Chains A and B, each alone.
Chain A
Amino acid sequence: MTGPVLEIERYTLDYQTGRSTLRVLDDISLDISAGEVVGLVGESGSGKSSLAWAIMRHLAGNARERGGQLRLDGEDLRGLSSSRLQALRGSRLAMIFQDPSAALNPTLSIGEQVAEVLVRHQGLSLREAWARGVALLGGVELKSPEAMMRRYPHELSGGEKQRVLISTAFACRPRCLIFDEPTTALDVISAAQILALFTRLREETGVSALYISHDLALVSRVADRVAILERGRLVESAPAATIFSAPAHEYTRRLVSAVPDPARRLIDQPPASATALLEIHKLGVSYGRPGFVDRLFGRASETTQALRELTMTLSPAEVVGVVGESGSGKSSLAKALVGLTPFAGEIRFEGRVLSNAAGMNRAYRRQVQMVFQHPDASLNPRQRIGEQLARPLRLYGLAPGESEKHAVARWLEEVRLPAEFASRYPHELSGGQKQRVAIARAFAARPALVICDEITAALDVSVQATVIELLLELRKRHGTAYLFITHDLNLVRQIAHRIAVMYRGDLVEMIDAATLDARGASHPYTRALLEAVPRPLRGHPAPSSLQGTP
């Protein structure tokens, strides 16, 4: 096959909002050759999903196409009738979504949904389609595909659902596939398995693909070529092998330097630990309480054990990273430590033994602060930034000789925000700015330990980098210890002294970051986790040899 499969030529798209128009895609030109995988990387709001929907010809009602062409095998997609488009979608052009649970109909069995595609686009009878479906599910490494066909989406895990969707997308031998953040909603290990599956299917079928993601490290592993989108403009398009080693555009350079790289440690001086700051002894958290009927009949009730007998020690000014998949109990640990959930076991702090949340006195509340994942939720939407920053000051006192107004301004300055933000409401700030306010609020109590629960997960990479930089600077200035909870192993290896690896409520390994770098992990789960994390493809002496076959 000669010529590109998908051609995007000088494509421009606006969104009409009220009286003004917002340019989402500006003069985009991008070709995807047969068998090539092009990665499209951009931060939120860069227009990457809009491009995907423009190619699928399913744009929002307020979208206005200002020019340019979209061609699949030389056929102009923009001029197609809706019946032609329907025949095209799912057969020659297919799309895989971020959230597999939203993309499957919860009221139809997997088999019905897979067979429907085959009946519709390949003209098979229902019986043939069902048989093909079983073969397809087997092809994406799903166990017992026949039983799987009769199941409903809620009976499958996220990774399994994504496999089902991939199998249907590949079923009709599409010319081009569009992936919109297909692994973002999955945990690290399932994501790695999905990527391995995609790589295999791609070799077998020679499909072309547009792989959209915010994760540059991941895209550099998956794609042959990477295109960088910044606010609707395509700023750079380069082979995946060279994007990390030789980023040409200034924005790409910024993006590359923001991607966490475990080889680049951002923290030094292991703390001189004479005494422990906080000792956690056999901490357990369980959810669900016995129901009324259960208690009446003395029945044993089902409670979920979110955290089992966790024991660890934190030293002053130490950064301990906690990593694990969703449901591993990391957030339960954080909530127990600040008394937001009942717990079993003991917390020892400054010579005091705490066995329940009621035992947490003012001194403990002041010294142990928490920053939450979503700044939208953790800042009260109806209070001005200044009022919220003043609360810890009012509760725990001001520095001598400082007025409350000055203290608020100083804390805003410490997190590098202008002082006039004090009179604003949270919704007037960007995500990164809100998270800075939340950090300032935690630090205003002058704590000894700050618990950070996935605080950068909702932020873009470049914003994440600046927030991390801020945290490290504050630590240097105030000597604060961090319990840094994250799913991002690369990030935690950059900034933590020790890393706690959690799996389904158990602490499986506590390892020094230095030891991890030098000797690798000892526990098999940690090793699996390490292998699953996509590490940025760094430059090698001969990048051309690493290039994928276009």
Chain B
Amino acid sequence: MPDSLKRLLRSPQGMIGAVILLACLVLVLLGPWLAPYDHQALSITERYRPPGAEHWLGTDQLGRDIASRILVGARATILLSLLATGLAMLIGAMLGTACAYLGGRFDEVMMRTMDALMSIPSLLFALLIVSTLGKSGMNAVLAITVSFIPGMVRIARSVALAQRRQDYVGAAIARGESSLWIVSRELLPNIAAPIIVEATIRVAFAIMLFATLSFLGLGAQPPAPEWGLMVAEARGYFFQAPWMMLMPGLAIALVAIGFNLLGDGLRDALNPRSGER
């Protein structure tokens, strides 16, 4: 693993992605303490302040400091997206590998179900789930998880299928290894890389999907400082105070780009052959 980390940091995408995400990690961990103001403090006199020395990123229609709100909101936005993607990755990888290894009827039933789920656009599907279960942040996480699972299953299954045909699996069977060993120690390490890469790139989608749900009023609820929600709330004041929408939007874009770059870097770094030459 140190080798792949070294390789990751040597590639420019990996390096930039890692720096952006490290900054995000700081926000997630220390955001509330770094915030210059109380993120919920209202102020009639400080409304619609453009970015400046006093308020770095300006203030909103209630006079709340946008920089503080972004810093505090990082935790909700990033953590919930990561949670959704992580859950989808775990469940998807498990189901996909099981499909590839067991084959037969289990595979058939599983994959047709996934096809049915995939035929519904993911945003529509998430909307459906949230509107059925009720509006809340955790329901949005669940919605994103469920809408991501079919894609992860397909990827895990196709990668595992290709690996299953490799001779080292045959060699392990012929050697008399147990099925558990073959799946966990022979197969999984070889399919982990593409799945992790896919998950990293999907985090960016999750952030945007989550922001979209919040924008539509189905994710985080006001007055939570969630980034998507902040963009939604700023919609009405766009001409008056464009920074209100611009700042959280930039934050979303920056994190999404960070995860995308990291995903690209990881794809090269996790391939043990890419170290040659």
Q: Give the contacts of A406-453 with B (CB-CB under 8 A).
A: 425, 427, 438, 441, 445
**Complex CA–CA separation, A475 to B190 (angstroms):** 34
Most buried by A among B173, B175, B277: B175
Residue B166 CB within 8 A of the other chain: yes
B171-A372 in contact (CB<8A): yes
**Complex CA–CA separation, A18 to B277 (angstroms):** 8
**Complex CA–CA separation, A379 to B190 (angstroms):** 12
Residue A88 CB within 8 A of the other chain: no
Query: How far, in Å, is A407 (CB) from chain B's closest CB?
Result: 16
User: CB < 8 Å: which of B166, B176, B189, B273 contacts A362?
Assistant: B176
Residue B170 CB within 8 A of the other chain: yes
B176-A366 in contact (CB<8A): yes
A378-B167 in contact (CB<8A): yes
Q: Give the contacts of A475-490 with B (CB-CB under 8 A).
A: none
**Complex CA–CA separation, A507 to B170 (angstroms):** 25
Task: List the A side residues contacting B168 at CB < 8 Å.
Answer: 377-381
User: CB < 8 Å: which of A335, A392, A425, A427 contacts B175?
Assistant: A392
Query: How far, in Å, is B102 (CB) from chain A's closest CB?
Result: 15
**Complex CA–CA separation, A445 to B176 (angstroms):** 11
Residue B186 CB within 8 A of the other chain: yes
Q: Give the contacts of A256-273 with B (CB-CB under 8 A).
A: none
B177-A339 in contact (CB<8A): no
A391-B173 in contact (CB<8A): no
Task: List the A side residues contacting B276 at CB < 8 Å.
Answer: 427
Query: How far, in Å, is B243 (CB) from chain A's closest CB?
Result: 45
**Complex CA–CA separation, A395 to B277 (angstroms):** 37
Query: How far, in Å, is A191 (CB) from chain B's closest CB?
Result: 26
Nearest A residue to B105 via CB reads: A292
On chain B, which size bracket covers the interface? 10 to 19
**Complex CA–CA separation, A240 to B91 (angstroms):** 64
Nearest B residue to A388 via CB reads: B168
User: CB < 8 Å: which of A18, A340, A395, A438 contacts B176?
Assistant: A395
**Complex CA–CA separation, A490 to B240 (angstroms):** 87
**Complex CA–CA separation, A373 to B273 (angstroms):** 21
Residue A82 CB within 8 A of the other chain: no
**Complex CA–CA separation, A427 to B272 (angstroms):** 8
**Complex CA–CA separation, A377 to B172 (angstroms):** 12
Query: How far, in Å, is A492 (CB) from chain B's closest CB?
Result: 22
Residue B44 CB within 8 A of the other chain: no
Given known A-B contacts A374-B167, A377-B167, A365 and B273 have beta carbons under 8 A apart: no
User: CB < 8 Å: which of A17, A18, A340, A438 contacts B173?
Assistant: A340
Query: How far, in Å, is A192 (CB) from chain B's closest CB?
Result: 30
On chain A, which size bracket covers the interface? 20 to 34
A395-B177 in contact (CB<8A): yes
B167-A372 in contact (CB<8A): yes
Nearest B residue to A396 via CB reads: B176
Binary interface profile of B, 171-190, with partner A (CB < 8 Å = 1, else 0)?
A: 11111110000000010011
Query: How far, in Å, is A240 (CB) from chain B's closest CB?
Result: 37
**Would you call the interface of chain B mostly helix, strand, loop, or mixed?**
helix
Residue A370 CB within 8 A of the other chain: yes
B190-A382 in contact (CB<8A): yes
User: CB < 8 Å: which of A18, A370, A379, A383 contacts B174?
Assistant: A370
Task: List the A side residues contacting B190 at CB < 8 Å.
Answer: 380-382
Nearest A residue to B270 via CB reads: A382
Residue A252 CB within 8 A of the other chain: no
Most buried by A among B173, B174, B177, B190: B174
Task: List the A side residues contacting B167 at CB < 8 Å.
Answer: 372-374, 377-378
Task: List the B side residues contacting A17 at CB < 8 Å.
Answer: 277
Query: How far, in Å, is A349 (CB) from chain B's closest CB?
Result: 14
Residue A474 CB within 8 A of the other chain: no
Nearest A residue to B176 via CB reads: A365
User: CB < 8 Å: which of B170, B176, B186, B272 contacts A372?
Assistant: B170
Query: How far, in Å, is B269 (CB) from chain A's closest CB?
Result: 14
**Complex CA–CA separation, A427 to B173 (angstroms):** 22
A369-B272 in contact (CB<8A): no
Task: List the A side residues contacting B170 at CB < 8 Å.
Answer: 335, 338, 340, 370, 372, 378
**Complex CA–CA separation, A377 to B164 (angstroms):** 11
A445-B173 in contact (CB<8A): no
Nearest A residue to B166 via CB reads: A377
Task: List the A side residues contacting B177 at CB < 8 Å.
Answer: 391, 395
B186-A380 in contact (CB<8A): yes
Given known A-B contacts A379-B168, A427-B276, A340 and B174 have beta carbons under 8 A apart: yes
Query: How far, in Å, is B93 (CB) from chain A's closest CB?
Result: 16
Task: List the B side residues contacting A391 at CB < 8 Å.
Answer: 172, 175, 177
Nearest A residue to B193 via CB reads: A382
**Complex CA–CA separation, A18 to B168 (angstroms):** 32
**Complex CA–CA separation, A366 to B177 (angstroms):** 11
Given known A-B contacts A380-B190, A382-B190, A365 and B175 have beta carbons under 8 A apart: yes
Chain A interface (Cβ < 8 Å from any Cβ of B): 17-18, 335, 338-340, 360, 362, 365-366, 368-370, 372-374, 377-383, 391-392, 395, 425, 427, 438, 441, 445
A-B contact pairs, 15 of them (CB 8 A): A335-B170, A339-B173, A366-B176, A370-B170, A377-B166, A378-B167, A378-B170, A378-B171, A381-B190, A383-B189, A391-B172, A392-B175, A427-B273, A427-B276, A441-B171
Q: Which 10 A-B pairs have the closest CB atoms?
A: A365-B176, A378-B167, A338-B174, A377-B167, A382-B189, A372-B167, A380-B168, A377-B166, A378-B171, A340-B170
